[in-house]
Amino acid sequence: MKCILFATATLLLAFSLNLSASAHDPEKMGDMAPMGDMSKTAQKTTMLPSTNLMSGQPQKFTIQVRSANSKPINNFQIQHEKLMHLILVNSDLTSFQHVHPTYLGKGKFQVTATLPANGTYTAFVDYVPKGSTQKVEIATLKVGKTVAETILPVPDSTLSKTFGDLDISLLLDPKTVRPNQEVPITFEMKDASGKPITDLQPYLGAMGHLVIIKVAPVLTAANYLHAHPEDHDHSSGMNMSGMGSQPMDMSKMPTMGNKDSKPMDMSKMPAMGGKDGKMPAMSGMGGMSGMAMKPVPGQVTFETQFPGPGTYRLWGQFQRAGKVFTADFTISI
């Protein structure tokens, strides 16, 4: 039962967060914070207040980021249009919030959030100090004086659900997933008539966001994964348009040869595909046009990897008509 009380707690008891970091290379890792590559950092972050919180009421939180010698860290890098991403979940992972604190300067952020019910919450603080790598740190928040027993989530019996006016399926066979190997995770979205939706909008610079948390009685930063599609335009799937879509003019290729052999003049090679000696743009090849893979309507695919066997809860976030919606699934691998 939700307890609706007026928030009176402004306790300023600071506590040290569990610190962890991950190497973050968007080009190689598909914009993900890997769970299996965490290490301690020389930074200290606090989140206030953390106890005596009231459920059902807006609460202002302050997050302070400091160096090991307690000096504020002043500069942060923007990742996906924000300086900080804050993920709030309760212990049974039935409550999920993705919010973005406002930077006030001198390493201090503020955000207002409402924790819906009594219990224990974990805050995953996701940011990148300028010139450093991605940091994922946690804070434990206590709401109310009485906490019900936590019932951990179990895998869904079906990976197709209805969210609002959309039917969403998770196109993934958990039995085929291997630890520490790249795996595509596709969300397929259809309207009530069964037609794929075609009006998804970019959200924070991407066509979707995926948060994955490994189920555990006590959550740590190593349980957390935040992934995005590799293409950050209006498509889904691989985008290789940067490689060019114009026909290749072989006559303009440089001559090839060395001191001991006669250079090869590519302009004298037989014409390929036409009298002008130009190579036609590639077509076919699984829907590729001009080396760009054609997106599948209503689908957004993420590339990521799982560190090991276990139960995982996934939240895919997407935007449509200016509103963000979330689709969640629980799987076991």
- pTM of model > 0.75: no
How far apart are the C-alpha atoms of 36 and 18, rounded to whole Å?
16
pLDDT tens digit sequence for 137-182: 999 999 998 777 889 999 999 999 999 999 999 999 999 999 999 9
Percent of the chain with pLDDT over 90: 61
**Residue whose structure tokens are 């996701």:** 126
Given a cut of 70, is residue 66 above it in pLDDT? yes
**Fold entry, domain 152-246+283-333:** Immunoglobulin-like (2.60.40)
Query: Could you tell me the pLDDT band of residue 275, with boundaries at 50, 70 and 90?
Result: very low
Q: Cβ atoms within 10 A of the Cβ of 311, count?
A: 18
* Three-class SS state of 209: strand
Query: Could you tell me the pLDDT band of residue 295, with boundaries at 50, 70 and 90?
Result: confident
Q: Which CATH superfamily is domain 1-149 in?
A: Macroglobulin (MG2) domain (2.60.40.1930)
Six-digit token pair at 264? Answer: 């090869």
Given a cut of 90, is residue 5 above it in pLDDT? no
The top-scoring range by mean pLDDT among 1-10, 11-20, 212-221, 288-297 is 212-221
pLDDT of residue 44: 82
Q: What is the mean pLDDT of the chain?
A: 77
Distances (CA, A) of 64 to 69, 76, 197: 14, 13, 41
- Mean pLDDT computed over 24-49: 53
pLDDT of residue 62: 98
Given a cut of 70, is residue 54 above it in pLDDT? yes
- Mean pLDDT computed over 178-194: 95
197 contact partners, CB below 8 Å, separation of at least 6: 166, 189, 190, 191, 297, 298, 320
| Closest alpha carbon to 83 in 115, 47, 108, 58 | 108
pLDDT of residue 146: 72
Do residues 331 and 174 lie in contact, with contact meaning Cβ atoms separated by under 8 Å? yes
String of DSSP letters for 75-118: -B--BTTBSEEEEEEETTS--EEEE-PEEEETTEEEEEEE--SS
Given a cut of 80, is residue 221 above it in pLDDT? yes
pLDDT tens digit sequence for 117-144: 999 999 999 999 999 999 999 999 999 9
- Mean pLDDT computed over 104-128: 96
pLDDT of residue 285: 37
Six-digit token pair at 129? Answer: 């100090």
Residue type, 264: M
Query: Could you tell me the pLDDT band of residue 310, with boundaries at 50, 70 and 90?
Result: very high
Which phi and psi (to 5°) does residue 130 adopt?
-60, 130
- Cα-Cα-Cα-Cα torsion 3, 7, 13, 17, nearest 10 degrees, comes to 60
Question: Within the chain, which residue ranges are assigned CATH 2.60.40.1930?
Answer: 1-149
Question: Within the chain, which residue ranges are assigned CATH 2.60.40.1940?
Answer: 152-246+283-333
pLDDT tens digit sequence for 81-99: 999 999 999 999 999 999 9
pLDDT of residue 42: 55
